[in-house]
Amino acid sequence: MPGFKLPHRSVTFLTATAVVAAAAGIASASTAPEPGPAGSARASASDGALVSSLKGRGRMDYPEPGHDIQVTVDAHASFKGEGWTMPDKAWGTFRIFHRMPAANGAPERVNWGDFKVDCLTSGGPTATVTGRLVHTGGNVDAWDDYLERHVRMGISFYVSEGEAGGPSRIGLSGGTQAGEPLLSRCMAPAADAEVIEGGYSLTDKGRP
């Protein structure tokens, strides 16, 4: 986000243009707005296909105090059969929400965006989701250019299966700048940030 400097550790999941999550107006201090229904992007698996799904909401760790970054996802994909790593169809939505604390006399800032899912891949406890930006809001207009270009972003997930597996994790990509190619479908950085609240449910390639 312009004017918002990120610590070096966060480069893998946030760019200088920052992060989002969607709904009209400004979110409360503790809760990100709920995403809209995925009905417009809804699809169904064809007979005999394998299906993956990822649902949930989580708050991710951030190295600077006072920041609230949440990722809400309802993503689905179908695959033609065993051995297929790229989906035949993908549908759903995800939202990225970023609340930044008041500082130096400036008020609290909120930025969020909704994305239409164009890829979900999964394997064991891991998944990657990508989507194009379709709606933004908050009291920061840093993503006007992103929305105009419907920039693609990606999120990687490690969904822990219990205490032995450690905490769940998320990795966020940034958006590419004007004149640069879009992020490729199904691509995202390593899931390096711990989920400190909430969680996700992942179903890896099962029969519908």
**What tens digit of pLDDT does each residue of 64-77 get?**
889 999 999 999 99
Q: Could you give the CA distance from residue 23 to residue 31 in angstroms, rounded to a whole number?
A: 12
205 belongs to a structural domain:
no
77 belongs to a structural domain:
yes
Residue 92 has pLDDT above 60, yes or no: yes
184 belongs to a structural domain:
yes
Question: Percent of the chain scored above 70 by pLDDT?
Answer: 77
Residue 136, amino acid? T
Query: Residue 193's beta-bridge partner residues?
Result: 170
34 belongs to a structural domain:
no
Residue 39 has pLDDT above 50, yes or no: no
What is the number of residues in the chain?
208
Give the structural domain span for 182. 9-23+39-199
Q: How many domains does the chain have?
A: 1
pTM: 0.77
191 belongs to a structural domain:
yes
3-class secondary structure, 164? helix
Residue 111 has pLDDT above 80, yes or no: yes
Query: For 5-20, what is each residue's pLDDT tens digit?
Result: 333 333 233 333 333 3
Q: Per residue, what are the HEC states of 7-63? A: CHHHHHCCCCCCCCCCCCCCCCCCCCCCCCCCHHHCCCCCCCCEEEEEEEEEEECCC
Decide the pairing of beta strands 193-206 and 152-158. unpaired
> Looking up tokens 């698996």, which residue turns up?
45
Residue 178 has pLDDT above 70, yes or no: yes
146 belongs to a structural domain:
yes
Residue 58 has pLDDT above 80, yes or no: yes
33 belongs to a structural domain:
no
30 belongs to a structural domain:
no
